[in-house]
Structure 1
Amino acid sequence: MTTLSLTTLSAGSRTLFPGVLACVVVAVASTFLSQHYGAPVMLFALILGMAMNFLSGDGPCKPGIEFTARQVLRWGVALLGLRITIGQVAELGWHPVLLVVVSMVLTIGLSMVVAKLLGFNTLFGLLSGGATAICGASAALALAAALPAHPQKERATLFTVVGVSVLSTTAMIVYPMIARALGLSEHGAGIFLGATIHDVAQVVGAGYGMSKDIGDIATVVKLMRVAMLLPVILFAVMCTRALGKGTSGPRPPLLPGFAIGFAVLVALNSTGWLPEVVTTAGSDFSRWALVSAIAAIGMKTQVRELAAVGLKPVLFMIGETVFLAVLALVLLRWAS
C-alpha cells in the first residue's frame, strides 16, 4: 500500500514538475528585473507569463501551470499570516484601525454597487475593490482563490492585478508629494501612505523614502490592511452563496482552508513562539509562491482577451483608487 502511494505521488510530481518549473523560472526572472529596474515584481511576472502563454496549451507544462495557479497560490496567501501580529495592530491605537476598517468597507461596498450600475459582474467589484482596499495583487489573488470558477474569473483577476500594480507604483510616487503638500505630520503621513497604497512593497518604498518613522508607521498600517483579508474572504464566500453563483458545482466552504491557515499563522506569529528564521523563511516562500502563481495566471491568459476589456474597467479602477485616497484624507482630518 505504501509503495503504491509513493509511486502515485512520484508520478504526480513528474507530471507537475515541468509546469511548476516554468512558473518558478518566470518568478526568478521577474524578481531580477524588479530589483534592477524598480517596477513591481507582479507586473513583470504577468508580462513574462503572458509572453510564455504557449506553454499552457496541451503539453507537458499544462498540469503544473494549472497547479501553480490554483494550489501554490493558496499556500502563498496562507503564509501571508506570518507577516502580521495582533500586537502590531494594537500598538497603533483605535484611530488607524477605525480608518482602515471604514475605508475598506466603504471602498468594497461602493465598488460592488458601481460595478453593477456599469453592467459588470458584482463580484468583479468585490475583486477590484478588495484589491484596492486591502493589499493589491495579493488580495486580488486571495479573493479569486475564494470565489467559484467562472469563465471570466481569470481574465478579471489578471486585469485587476495589472491595474493595482500600475496604480500602486503611481501612488508610490504621487502620494508622498500629496502628504508634503497638505502638511501632514509624520504620524499622519505614515497612516495615509499605509492606508491607501495598494501593495506592501510600494508602501515601504514611499514611507521610507520620506523618513524612517513614516516608513515604520506606514508598514504597520499596511499590515493591518493585510489582516483584513480574512473577514473579506469570508464576506466574499457569503456573497457568492447569496448571489447564487457557482451553484452548478459543489458550494465552496464558508471559510476556505487557506483562509483558516492564514488566521492560524497570524495567531501563532502573535505569540512570539516562532523563531525569526521560520517567519522570515515563510514570508519569503509566500512571496515566491504568489509571484509564481501570477506568472501561471499570465501563462493561462490570452492577450487578445485582456485587450478586449475596454476603457470602462480602467476608469473604474482609477476611480476606486482616487476614492480610497480622498476618503483616507477626510477620515484623517476628522480624527485629528
Structure 2
Amino acid sequence: MAQLITTIKTLFPGAVIAVITGMAALFLSEHYGAPAMLFALLLGIAMSFLHQETTCKAGIEFTASHILRIGVALLGFRIAFDDLLSLGWQTALLLIVAIFSTILVGIGLSKAMGLTKRFGALTGGSVAICGASAAMAISAVMPNSEHKERDTLLTIIGVTSLSTIAMVAYPIIANLFGLSEYDTSIFLGGTIHDVAQVVGAGYSVSEQTGDLSTLVKLVRVSFLMPVVMIMLLVINAKCKTDKSVSESPGFPPFLLAFIAFMVLNSVIDLPTIVTEGAATFSRFALIISIAAIGMKSNLSQLVGVGVKPIILMVLQTVWIAGLILIALLCM
C-alpha cells in the first residue's frame, strides 16, 4: 500500500499537467474549429521544459506510454464486424488495397529518399489508417531508437495538418469530379487521415454522406490492429536475424485488449452509453497522451530533419487519394 501511494505521488504532478493541457486543447478546438490533437501537441511542445529533470517527468512519461495504450485499446469499442459486412466486398477490397499499398509505397519512397524504412512504415500506416492514433499505436510496438520520439512527433504533426487540409479540399475535389453521394462518402472516409476530419468533411456535404463516410473511416480503423500485428512480427523476425537491431518489443497487451473490445462490441449489443463512453474516454486519453508526447519532445531535433519527411507524407497522401478516386471513377 505504501508503495502504491508513493507511485501515485510520483506520477501525479506530470499526469495532472498532461490532463490540464488536454482539457485546454479541447477548449481551443471547440472554440476555434482546429483539431484537438494538433492543439494538444503544440501546447505540449510549448511546455516541454516541464519534462527536463523536474517532478513532472515521471508522470509525463507514464501518460505518454501507458495512457496512450489505454486510449488505443478502447478504440476497439468503436468497431463491429457488421460494419465490414455492410460496405460490401468491393469497397472492403478497395480499402485493403489502399491501406497496404500506401504502407508499401511509404516504405519504398522512404528508402529512395534516404530515410529509414521504419519512418516509411510509421508515416505510411498513419496516412493509410487513422492518422495520429495509428502513429502512436505503431510507434508503441517499434523498438526504441535514437530518433523514435522525434519521428513520432513529426508524423503526428504532418498527418494532422494534412488531414485538416483534406477536410476542406476533398469535398471540393469530389464535387469537381462529379462523384455521387455514395462515392463521395467512400472517397472521404477512405482517404482523410483522422476520424474527426472525416466527420467534418462528410457532414459538410450532407447528413447521409457524413454517416456513411464515418462508417467507412471506422472500417479503416479496424485495420489498425492487423497492420500493427504484421509490423510487430516483421520487427521481431528482423531482431532475431539482425544483431544490430535493438531488442524487439514483446506482444503488447493493448493489442489483445483492442481485439477483445472489438469482438465484444460485435457479438453483444452493448448499451450506447457504454460504447459512447468508451469512445469519449479513448479520445481524451489519446489527446492527453499526445500532449505528453509533445512535452517529451526536443524541438532542436526537429530543426535538422529537412523537408524530406514532409514530402514523403504528402506523396503518401496523394497516393491513397489518387488510388481511391481513380477506382471510384472506373467502377
Alignment TM-score > 0.5, same fold: yes
How far 1:248 sits from its partner (Å)? 6.7
Correspondent of 1:56 among 51, 60, 66: 51
Match of 2:319 in 1: 323
* Pair 1:122–1:248, CA change in 2 (3 A): closer
Q: Distance in 2 between matches of 1:300 and 1:215?
A: 36
Q: Distance in 1 between matches of 2:245 and 2:305?
A: 26
Provide runs of 4+ in structure 1 moved above 6 Å.
245-248
Match of 2:25 in 1: 30
* Pair 1:318–1:248, CA change in 2 (3 A): closer
Q: Distance in 1 between matches of 2:191 and 2:221?
A: 12
How far 1:331 sits from its partner (Å)? 1.8
Match of 2:165 in 1: 170
Q: Distance in 2 between matches of 1:246 and 1:50?
A: 34
**Stretch deviating more after TM superposition (110-119 or 270-279):** 270-279
Is the counterpart of residue 251 in structure 1 residue 248 in structure 2? yes
Q: Which amino acid aligns with 2:291?
A: A
Q: Distance in 1 between matches of 2:98 and 2:15?
A: 37
Match of 1:300 in 2: 296
Question: Do 2:142 and 2:248's aligned partners in 1 also have CA atoms closer than 8 Å?
Answer: no
Q: Distance in 2 between matches of 1:217 and 1:272?
A: 22
Local SS of the residue matching 2:305: coil
How far 1:250 sits from its partner (Å)? 4.6
How far 1:104 sits from its partner (Å)? 0.5
How far 1:59 sits from its partner (Å)? 1.4
Local SS of the residue matching 2:178: coil
How far 1:246 sits from its partner (Å)? 8.5
Match of 2:35 in 1: 40
Q: Distance in 2 between matches of 1:247 and 1:257?
A: 26
Is the counterpart of residue 310 in structure 1 residue 306 in structure 2? yes
Q: Distance in 2 between matches of 1:16 and 1:303?
A: 24
Correspondent of 2:73 among 58, 65, 78: 78
Question: Do 2:144 and 2:246's aligned partners in 1 also have CA atoms closer than 8 Å?
Answer: no
Tell me the matched-pair count.
329
Q: Which amino acid aligns with 1:164?
A: V
How far 1:307 sits from its partner (Å)? 2.1
Deviations 1:277-336 (A, max 9, x none): 1111111111111011110110011112112211111111111101110001122233x2
Match of 1:99 in 2: 94
Is the counterpart of residue 149 in structure 1 residue 149 in structure 2? no
Is the counterpart of residue 125 in structure 1 residue 104 in structure 2? no
Question: Do 2:103 and 2:125's aligned partners in 1 also have CA atoms closer than 8 Å?
Answer: yes
Match of 1:3 in 2: none
Q: Distance in 1 between matches of 2:305 and 2:8?
A: 36
Q: Distance in 2 between matches of 1:234 and 1:193?
A: 26
Local SS of the residue matching 2:146: coil
Correspondent of 1:266 among 262, 266, 281: 262
Identity across matched positions, percent: 48
Q: Which amino acid aligns with 2:58?
A: P
Q: Distance in 1 between matches of 2:38 and 2:234?
A: 29
Q: Which amino acid aligns with 1:219?
A: T
**Stretch deviating more after TM superposition (82-91 or 134-143):** 82-91
Q: Distance in 2 between matches of 1:317 and 1:203?
A: 18
Q: Which amino acid aligns with 1:251?
A: S
Is the counterpart of residue 140 in structure 1 residue 150 in structure 2? no
**Stretch deviating more after TM superposition (72-81 or 323-332):** 323-332
Is the counterpart of residue 158 in structure 1 residue 153 in structure 2? yes
Match of 1:333 in 2: 329
Local SS of the residue matching 1:134: helix
Correspondent of 1:116 among 87, 101, 111: 111
Q: Distance in 1 between matches of 2:199 and 2:150?
A: 29
Q: Residues 147-296 of structure 1: matches in 2 within 5 Å?
A: 147-244=142-239, 250-253=247-250, 255-296=251-292
Q: Distance in 2 between matches of 1:148 and 1:74?
A: 16
Q: Distance in 1 between matches of 2:290 and 2:302?
A: 15
Q: Distance in 2 between matches of 1:246 and 1:76?
A: 33
